[in-house]
Structure 1
């Protein structure tokens, strides 16, 4: 096995930017929302730099960009409601799995690791996405950004997952694509593994100093299968 897996029993995965590229659908929902408000609409590249802190922050960043100033509460509430409706209507139309994700998850599950999903995406969207891609059965627990009182970069969701299954933090690994994932993992006492292809607000994920950086999840798959 890859050395990062030695002594590990639980592997926590981020979702957006780690397992799936969801930005095309997020961007489409934002464009419809801002268009209805008669505001400028962003391109997909801009949206990629806004993802990572949950839906309310994503909408706030888009409104700030479009209006040139932070939104007032009533506009934020109206835009968030519209975004949730648009995204909820088609969360999988343009979203795709990253390479080797399905094989890696299947291999790690068969190798006996407990797999959990810890994302800042609202909980209501998790099940439809996992079911669409055939990933649901491999996760023993799924936590969204609104499941608990705090979300990443807080360590709370990670520690909740470890406690749920009776594992110590040193027996756990956090896998993600952003500084929020790596920061949460370090704060929780998890080992951390970063992937470079996701969303990290335009900064190289190496700056977060993860324990391991891999180009794809295929390396973990191959390690788990060895």
Structure 2
């Protein structure tokens, strides 16, 4: 069971609960554009496909219809400015994340992050969490032409680190992570506590379904 050399992680909903910060940024954006604030639970169901889709879903809910291109662009700029101010503030890690990452590193596992979050926000978040040195490679949703559920980012990490996809484990919380891993020929863990648009992650068919991040040790550190 421990036959994985590289572990690729999603970020939001997998390592950190970023909804509080995302909700703050969404609400600042909405208020700036003249709309009412959205509830944090609504934002929890909107995340997972990158910032453009998050902004689009928030605007659609506020308008009751699809927003036009000009409004989407203005909203995205307002969201980015707001999120820049709060993204690395008050970070909340899911239970077991920090200890498990440290244990994997001690065991010689190579670690990477593949998130759909725009890359510009990621380094500050990792730095604030003291994790900048834990991951050999970090990709954001705009680091490559395609993002998850495309397998391209996962395969790019394998090529960059000279690792075999068959000996790589993807760990995420949404159908996007499972689909990307399947298409890349990787095994995948689905975490139940993250953001999967209100659906059960088990329905996506990951190899393992875990409700406790620390249980990764049973998969990765057991021969």
Q: Same fold (TM over 0.5)?
A: yes
**Pairwise CA distance, 1:65:** 0.5
Instruction: Let me know the Cα RMSD of the aligned residues.
Output: 1.2
Task: Determine the structure 2 residue equivalent to 1:64.
Answer: 60
Gaps of 5+ in 2: none
Q: 1:93 aligns with which of 70, 89, 94?
A: 89
TM-score by length of 2: 0.96
Q: Is 1:163 aligned to residue 159 of structure 2?
A: yes
Gaps of 5+ in 1: none
**Pairwise CA distance, 1:223:** 6.0
**Pairwise CA distance, 1:186:** 0.5
Question: Could you list the per-position Cα deviations for residues 121-177 of structure 1 after superposition, in whole angstroms to 9, with x for gaps in the alignment?
Answer: 000111100111111111000000000010000000000001111122111110000
Task: Determine the structure 2 residue equivalent to 1:182.
Answer: 178
**Pairwise CA distance, 1:222:** 5.9
169 and 224 in structure 1: CA distance in 2 versus 1, 3 angstrom threshold: closer
Question: Could you list the per-position Cα deviations for residues 73-99 of structure 1 after superposition, in whole angstroms to 9, with x for gaps in the alignment?
Answer: 110000000000000111132431111
**Pairwise CA distance, 1:36:** 1.1
**DSSP-derived class of the 1:138 partner:** coil
216 and 52 in structure 1: CA distance in 2 versus 1, 3 angstrom threshold: same
Contact conserved, 1:23 with 1:48, CA < 8 A, in 2? yes
Task: Determine the structure 1 residue equivalent to 2:21.
Answer: 25
Task: Determine the structure 2 residue equivalent to 1:197.
Answer: 193
Task: Determine the structure 2 residue equivalent to 1:133.
Answer: 129
**Pairwise CA distance, 1:225:** 6.1
Contact conserved, 2:4 with 2:220, CA < 8 A, in 1? no
Q: Is 1:110 aligned to residue 106 of structure 2?
A: yes
Moved over 6 A (4+): none
Q: CA separation in 2, counterparts of 1:165 and 1:76?
A: 37
Contact conserved, 1:49 with 1:201, CA < 8 A, in 2? yes
Task: Determine the structure 1 residue equivalent to 2:208.
Answer: 212
Contact conserved, 2:3 with 2:220, CA < 8 A, in 1? no
Paired residues, what number? 222
1:67-86 map, 5 Å: 67-86=63-82
Q: CA separation in 1, counterparts of 2:218 and 2:169?
A: 17
**DSSP-derived class of the 1:142 partner:** strand
